[in-house]
Amino acid sequence: MKNFVLLLFLFTAIYARSQTCTNLGQNPGTAFPVCGSSVFQQNIVPICGDRPIPTPCSSSGLSFQDKNPYWYKFTCFSAGTLAFVITPSFLTDDYDWQLFDVTGHDPDEVYTNQNLFVASNWSGEGGKTGASSAGTSLTRCGGRGVPLFSSMPVLKEGHNYLLLVSHFTNSQVGYTLDFSGGTASITDMAAPKMIAAKALCDGQRVSIKLNKKMKCTSLAADGSDFIFSSSSATVSSAAAASCSAGFDMDSVIVTLSNPLPLGDYTIGIKNGTDGNTLLDNCDASIQAGQTLSFTVVPSVPTTLDTILTPGCAPDEVKLLVKDAIRCNSVAADGSDFLLTGSSAVKIIGASTSCTNGLSNIITLQLSSPIYVQGNYRVTLQKGSDGNTLINECAKETPEGVYEEFTTKDTVSADFTYNIDFACKADTVAFFHNGNNGTNEWSWRFDNAGTSTLQNPVYTYPSFGKQEAQLTVSNGVCKDSATAIFYLDNELKAGFTTPGLLCPEDVGVFKDSSIGKIMQWSWDFGNGNTSGLKDPPAQTYPATTAQKDYMLRLIVKDAYGCYDTARQPLKVYNNCYIAVATAFTPNGDGRNEYLYPINAYKTRNLVFKVYNRFGQLLFETTDITRKWDGTFKGIRQATGTYIWTLQYIHTDTGGLVRTKGTTVLIR
């Protein structure tokens, strides 16, 4: 029995993953319109979907899908925070969600463009989920124990959003979706109304434009929502093209019983056989009695209205027509159009964006991209299909009508530069030729400085490897270039010194300067100087006490720049390391401490003092620390004390160990 259940589960999972979502609302392009003032009830969730969803959680190695999905769309009418709650009908069901900002994007980009992400919750727990003030993060990834509520995202006024509700639990039981608690408004408060009416062709159909999206379900198919003012015809039906693939509409086609004679007419709205006029997504209705005027005029052929300004190096041209043309009247090989102009580019194809067999856009494919500036004309002619363009009213556009467009040259961001080498900082002059109508320059210097000049001059604050970036545009075409160069004229004087000398020692000094050095000037403080890079060793006269010297090196480089380095040198009169045989820590300021004397050339020194019982009283590895004759703050008695000394002599590198006794005298 267990094996049967397992197989049934696997079959169900595979079946679910193999199903394409076909119901309205289960794909981004057919999302449910949402009114923020109402609770949305979803009674059943068909099993389908499983398309991957890009999300910040994907960086963790997990994958996320629109499993058994429903999509909801809304616009932000007043900026603020968004709060909502998804409540499963079975509270143990696991629901996930993700919010996208699709402003200016095709809805299906939610499957490929992670930049549309706003917020999500992919918790592996069952129960209520959503966004609320209790949430602490806009992103919640999968797994047990992950909080079910995310923080409230901030919506932007005028932006369009899509909300995915994904039902991870493979059941068809539904949920409620409640938008409340946030400060953003996703409810369009504008009163619904009709804003324009237009007679189509012979006047038997009237197109009515609405001021906002309204519910398809509020439109009576028999046309009873509308009343016609003239006795010459009656309303026979009403339909909205968008309702075949969605839930809302912003225009309606009213069909009359017969064509209308030329003239002026009025159409109004009333409560239909469905008991209402037209309702917006929040169930607000158009006020009954509103009327619109329209005129039936003779049908005329469609003209070529405009060509959208081509982009950079266009390989297609978009032609707009005010009155829709029949898609089947456009020859696919583009032979309805002749292109003439500055270069020998030809039209090799044409396509349309059709809705119910009609289109207002014709896209013309070119034989090759246009890379140079020029003027072009698109002229209409009879194509291989035997006609030009035929509009909805069966009127053919005459041959010879045309529209013109211009193209821009492509641009190059390649640039040159000259370096003015200086002592403290280098200045670089950049040059761009400005060819092909370039009128915008955006420079970035080593990710620090910027400029919008054509030929800027920039002083670099440091030497070494540098980078300059330039982006140029002529308003249509854009290009970028980068140059890497080296400011290798840094000059910095420096030298090594032993730091101290003992009697009969010689001082060896080595140049460590940086730069293209041409001249060295040494002053050793003992009356000697040198102009060599590696000067001769120096001796210093014997002294009866320590003497300090200041050494100096001045360097000059190939650019005529100078830099100076100075270092002190101590010369000692005695470097014999010893420990006194007696000391008197009595406060008279003389012979107060016990320590290794002249321990200048030691490394890893350890000095210890013991009493006659072998107790350690003092220990140091610092030659500047000295024993003051106390132990834990208590003055030690007069007597003999034992010391040990260990160090490495820096001249020989040898380890020295010695010990002895010292008398403490009070």
Question: Which of 372, 407, 442 is the endpoint of a domain?
Answer: 407
Token pair recorded at residue 219: 């439109």
Q: What is the CATH number of the domain that holds 9?
A: 2.60.120.380
My answer on whether 429 and 500 are in the same domain is no
Q: Which of 573, 636, 648, 586 is nearest to 609 (CA)?
A: 636
Q: What is the CA radius of gyration of the chain?
A: 44
Phi-psi region of 159 (alpha: psi -120 to 50; beta: other; left: phi over 0): beta
CB atoms within 10 A of CB 164: 21
Separation in Å, CA 360 to CA 272, 395, 440, 565: 32, 15, 34, 78
DSSP-derived 3-state class of residue 389: coil
pLDDT band at residue 15 under the 50/70/90 scheme = very low
CB atoms within 10 A of CB 441: 20
Average pLDDT over residues 230-241: 93
Amino acid at 130: G
Task: Give me the pLDDT at residue 142, please.
Answer: 82
Q: How many helices (H) and strands (E) does the chain have?
A: 1, 52
For residue 188, tell me if it sits in a domain: no
Q: Which of 545, 599, 554 is nearest to 576 (CA)?
A: 599
For residue 68, tell me if it sits in a domain: yes
DSSP-derived 3-state class of residue 188: coil
My answer on whether 40 and 138 are in the same domain is yes
The DSSP-derived string for 421-488 is --SS--EEEEE----TT--EEEEEETTTEEE-SSS-EEE-SS-EEEEEEEEEESSS-EEEEEEEEEE-
Task: Give me the pLDDT at residue 135, please.
Answer: 94
Task: Give me the pLDDT at residue 293, please.
Answer: 96
For residue 467, tell me if it sits in a domain: yes
* Contact (Cβ atoms closer than 8 angstroms) between residue 138 and residue 151: yes
Q: What's the pLDDT tens digit per position in 20-41?
A: 888 889 999 999 998 887 788 9
Average pLDDT over residues 626-643: 95
Task: Give me the pLDDT at residue 2, please.
Answer: 34
Average pLDDT over residues 48-75: 88
Low-confidence winner among 111-115, 141-145, 298-302 (lowest mean pLDDT): 141-145
Task: Give me the pLDDT at residue 4, please.
Answer: 34
Average per-residue pLDDT for the chain: 92
Residue 403: its H or E element: strand 402-407
My answer on whether 381 and 441 are in the same domain is no
Distance (Å, rounded) from C-alpha 294 to C-alpha 340?
40
Task: Give me the pLDDT at residue 60, please.
Answer: 66
- pLDDT surpassing 60 at residue 160: yes
My answer on whether 588 and 472 are in the same domain is no
For residue 551, tell me if it sits in a domain: yes
My answer on whether 364 and 219 are in the same domain is no
Phi then psi dihedrals of residue 277, to 5 deg: -85, -125
Average pLDDT over residues 561-588: 94
Residue 630: its H or E element: strand 630-631
For residue 500, tell me if it sits in a domain: yes
Distance (Å, rounded) from C-alpha 13 to C-alpha 262?
62
For residue 88, tell me if it sits in a domain: yes
My answer on whether 244 and 339 are in the same domain is no
Task: Give me the pLDDT at residue 94, please.
Answer: 94
Task: Give me the pLDDT at residue 444, please.
Answer: 95
Phi then psi dihedrals of residue 439, to 5 deg: -135, 5
CB atoms within 10 A of CB 663: 13
Task: Give me the pLDDT at residue 8, please.
Answer: 36
For residue 302, tell me if it sits in a domain: no
Which residues touch 345 (CB under 8 Å, ≥6 apart)? 339, 366, 367, 368, 370, 376
DSSP-derived 3-state class of residue 406: strand
What's the domain count of the chain? 6
pTM of the prediction? 0.60
My answer on whether 23 and 48 are in the same domain is yes
Burial class (CB in 10 A: 0-12, 13-18, 19+), 451: middle
Phi then psi dihedrals of residue 16, to 5 deg: -60, -40
Task: Give me the pLDDT at residue 101, please.
Answer: 97
Q: Containing domain of residue 220, as a range?
A: 194-296
Residue 419 is classified by DSSP as E
Task: Give me the pLDDT at residue 517, please.
Answer: 95
Residue 166 is classified by DSSP as E
For residue 123, tell me if it sits in a domain: yes
- pLDDT surpassing 70 at residue 18: no
Separation in Å, CA 347 to CA 366, 382, 409, 555: 5, 14, 20, 71
My answer on whether 329 and 346 are in the same domain is yes
My answer on whether 107 and 251 are in the same domain is no
Distance (Å, rounded) from C-alpha 314 to C-alpha 613?
99
- Residue 362: CA count within 13 A, CB half-sphere: 37
Task: Give me the pLDDT at residue 13, please.
Answer: 41
My answer on whether 377 and 398 are in the same domain is yes
- pLDDT surpassing 60 at residue 288: yes
Task: Give me the pLDDT at residue 412, please.
Answer: 96
Average pLDDT over residues 606-616: 95
Task: Give me the pLDDT at residue 144, please.
Answer: 87
Residue 579: its H or E element: strand 578-579
- pLDDT surpassing 80 at residue 194: yes
Q: What is the CATH number of the domain that holds 345?
A: 2.60.40.1220
Burial class (CB in 10 A: 0-12, 13-18, 19+), 499: exposed
Average pLDDT over residues 47-71: 87
Strand pairing partners for 337? 380
Q: What's the pLDDT tens digit per position in 67-87?
A: 999 999 999 999 999 999 999
> Above pLDDT 70, what percent of the chain?
97
Distance (Å, rounded) from C-alpha 179 to C-alpha 136?
19
CB atoms within 10 A of CB 242: 16
Q: What is the CATH number of the domain that holds 596?
A: 2.60.40
My answer on whether 45 and 154 are in the same domain is yes
- pLDDT surpassing 90 at residue 12: no
My answer on whether 156 and 277 are in the same domain is no
Q: What is the CATH number of the domain that holds 459?
A: 2.60.40.10
